[in-house]
Amino acid sequence: MTHTLVLLRHGESEWNAKNLFTGWVDVDLTEKGRAEAVRGGELMVEAGLLPDIVHTSLQRRAITTAHLSLDVADRHWIPVKRSWRLNERHYGALQGKDKKQTLAEFGEEQFMLWRRSFDTPPPPLDDSSEFSQAGDPRYADLGDELPRTECLKDVIARFLPYWEAEIVPDLQSGRTVLVAAHGNSLRALVKHLDQISDEDIAGLNIPTGMPLVYRLDEDMRPTVAGGEYLDPEAAAAAAAAVANQGR
Ligand SMILES: O=C(O)[C@H](O)COP(=O)(O)O
């Protein structure tokens, strides 16, 4: 028996459109992003993929994407679980900064280290910043665990406990699971699923609004490495655009 997992990065956000580092800043979708979410739902219906449960981050761009895609699939009524552990990577002091300006100011090597390295986080964000989540009631339970910056290694460390405790049991119960999350939190999960090296993960980018389907075996290993995008041509073009953000 295989288990069906659908990964869906949120549709284009307002700060994706402005080319700003977003992280934990809770921005909304653009009209294009809303349309991407609807299209994602249509693709799931066309593929006969009807999620039985959905997991989202605590950020509205993922929550809204989940709702819009499920509404199209007439699955808006399924159970939902939400966790900060699915949030986008915290981008530290880069939150709110323009990607192009950051590249120009710090150069290619530093830009890529902060954006795509495995274990080099950006500088921490001060709690006094307008882009800080300190004091945000949805993270009250985190206390001192509230991140002020994260690298991908940090995201993996906080995502995998949720994957094992919440998502895997849903898959093992035979449910089709939708995970509506973010570019880097999904990169963290894909790295784990496909056993991608710390070096090779730098080259993986996940496009907005495009369902990525994994059929997993009893050991939760992909039967097809890298999963399968429901619209592979569009996904490849969009992933290349993500890679070139800032240029
Ligand atoms: O948080 C952000 O800025 C984006 O959603 C992801 O950005 P990245 O693709 O530059 O990591």
130 is in an annotated binding site: no
**Is residue 246 over pLDDT 90?**
no
pLDDT on residue 238? 81
The dihedral built from the CA positions of residue 186, 187, 188 and 194, taken in this order, carries a sign that is positive
Known catalytic residue at 67: no
**Is residue 237 over pLDDT 90?**
no
Distance CA 29, CA 204 (A): 23
pLDDT digits (tens, 9 = 90+) for 29-88: 999 999 999 999 999 999 999 999 999 999 999 999 999 999 999 999 999 999 999 999
pLDDT on residue 241? 82
- State how beta strands 228-229 and 212-216 pair: antiparallel
pLDDT on residue 149? 98
90 is in an annotated binding site: yes
Q: Please, are residues 51 and 32 in contact by the beta-carbon 8 Å criterion?
A: no
Q: Look at residue 67 and give its three-state secondary structure.
A: helix
pLDDT digits (tens, 9 = 90+) for 88-131: 999 999 999 999 999 999 999 999 999 999 999 999 999 999 99
Distance CA 114, CA 125 (A): 14
pLDDT on residue 239? 83
Q: What is the DSSP string of 211-234?
A: -EEEEE-TTS-BSSTT-EESSHHH
Torsion of CA 155, 161, 167, 171, to 10 degrees: 120
Q: Whose CA is nearest to atom 2 of ligand 1?
A: 22
> In 3-state terms, the chain is what percent helix, strand and coil (to 5)?
45, 15, 40
> Which residue type does 67 have?
H
Give the closest residue to 180 by CA, choosing from 76, 84, 42, 61.
Answer: 61
236 pLDDT band (50/70/90 cuts)? confident
DSSP tally for the chain: helices H, then strands E: 8, 6
Distance CA 130, CA 134 (A): 10
242 pLDDT band (50/70/90 cuts)? confident
Give the closest residue to 6 by CA, choosing from 237, 175, 221, 156.
Answer: 175
pLDDT on residue 98? 98
Q: Please, are residues 70 and 76 in contact by the beta-carbon 8 Å criterion?
A: yes
Please indicate whether residue 207, judged by its CB atom, sits closer than 6 Å to ligand 1.
Answer: no
Rounded to two decimals, the ipTM of the complex is 0.91
Known catalytic residue at 88: yes
pLDDT digits (tens, 9 = 90+) for 159-212: 999 999 999 999 999 999 999 999 999 999 999 999 999 999 999 999 999 999
39 is in an annotated binding site: no
Please indicate whether residue 245, judged by its CB atom, sits closer than 6 Å to ligand 1.
Answer: yes
Catalytic residue among 36, 88, 150, 182: 88
From 27, 28, 60, 91, mutation site for ligand 1 pocket: most ligand atoms within 8 A of C-beta:
91
Residue identified by tokens 């300006």 is 101
Q: Which residues are registered as beta bridge partners of 98?
A: 20
pLDDT on residue 245? 84
pLDDT digits (tens, 9 = 90+) for 9-21: 999 999 999 999 9
Separation of CA 22 and ligand 1 centre (Å)? 6
Separation of CA 95 and ligand 1 centre (Å)? 10
pLDDT on residue 95? 98
pLDDT on residue 189? 98
pTM, 2 dp:
0.96
Buried b (16+ CB within 10 A) or exposed e, 52-87: ebbbbbbbbbbbbbbbbbbebbebeebebebbbbbb
Atom index in ligand 1 nearest the CA of residue 182 equals 5
